[in-house]
Structure 1
Amino acid sequence: MSTILAKILLSIVFILSISRNSDAQFEDYCIADEQATEDVLQNAMNWACKNGADCSAIQDYQSCFFPNTTKDHASFAFNSYYQNMKHNGASCYFTAAAILTGLNPSHDSCKFEYLP
């Protein structure tokens, strides 16, 4: 077997082993885009909370109330909506106010849901 073919086969085996052993690398969370304005985030968050997001955790003094910022609350609402609705074709767009990330944004007692 030529060395080039051996290197190609080794590369394929390596790539396959990574994808089989690391399911977490494919998790996606929907969070507020840092570049979105407060008004855009607030409007998009209001829409998400009325259309499928569970926003109870960002209500006064609940598990995800702090930090009490529009960006943090919008991130939670966007992710909740996205996780609940992505299997029905929903996206993480929110009028360009949100982005997908592979990093889990959970912090302290605030746990962001991930549904495979």
Structure 2
Amino acid sequence: MPNLLMKISIVVVSVLVVCSLKSDAQYEDYCIADEQVPDGELQAALKWACENGADCRLIQPGQPCFTPDNVKDHASFAFNSYYQNMKHKGGSCYFNSAALLTAANPSHDGCKYEYID
């Protein structure tokens, strides 16, 4: 009986792993601001991202990703934009330790975070 339970457990875990993967065995990953980083550091990294490849138009007033209007959310959007657009060219989700990768899609309301395979 324990052998049967072990086999069933292995099958269940295998199914869960396969179901959590995309068809090409890649996770979707999003780059977001680390909540523990002070606003001043996030602001500097946000500025750098917007000047170096992030599309920051959607975090401007009146645009769908402007709200919530805070540094953490704006930085998260800019970090992800930079990361998605630059990851295939060697870009990373580092931003001087101000960001981290997540598998959870951070899109909210009308603000859609980009994912590029």
Q: TM-score, normalised by structure 1?
A: 0.84
Q: Which moved more, 1:59-68 or 1:15-24?
A: 15-24
Aligned to 1:73: 74
Pairs aligned (count): 114
1:13 maps to a residue whose letter is V
Confirm whether residue 17 of structure 1 aligns to residue 18 of structure 2. Answer: no
- Taking the aligned partners of 2:6 and 2:28, their CA distance within structure 1 comes to 28
Deviations 1:39-93 (A, max 9, x none): 1111111111111111110011101011111111000000111111112222211
CA 1:29–1:6: 2 relative to 1, 3 Å = same
Taking the TM superposition and a 5 Å limit, the aligned residue runs for 1:1-116 are: 6=4, 8-23=6-21, 26-116=27-117
Give unmatched runs, 5+ long, in structure 2. none
Stretches (4+) displaced over 6 A: none
Counterparts of 1:4 and 1:115 in 2: how far apart (Å)? 44
C-alpha distance in structure 2 between counterparts of 1:66 and 1:95, whole Å: 25
Unpaired segments ≥5 residues, structure 1: none
User: Once superposed, what is the RMSD of the aligned Cα atoms?
Assistant: 2.0
Counterpart residue identity of residue 67, structure 2: F
Say if 1:89 and 1:7 are closer, same or farther in 2 by CA, change over 3 A. Answer: farther
Change (3 A) 1:23 1:62: same
Query: Percent identity of the aligned residues?
Result: 58
Q: Indicate the larger mover: 10-19 or 105-114.
A: 10-19
In the superposition, the TM-score normalised over structure 2's length comes to: 0.83
